[in-house]
Amino acid sequence: MKQLRGLDSLATTICSFLLDVNFFSFRFFIQKITAFT
């Protein structure tokens, strides 16, 4: 059970990391579009 909880927190960390990366690349994408127009 303890191992499962550790795996769950790891998955949560990975998910939040991916969300941060997605948000950053999305903002970068928007900046490129606004700079292009």
Q: Write the pLDDT tens digit of every residue in 2-32.
A: 777 888 899 999 999 999 999 999 999 999 9
Between 19 and 1, the more confident residue is 19
Q: Is 70 exceeded by the pLDDT of residue 1?
A: no
Residues 28, 30, 31, 36, CA torsion sign: positive
Q: Is 70 exceeded by the pLDDT of residue 34?
A: yes
**CA distance linking residue 36 with residue 18, whole number of Å:** 27
**CA distance linking residue 5 with residue 21, whole number of Å:** 24
- Domains in the chain: boundaries: 1-37
pTM of structure: 0.53
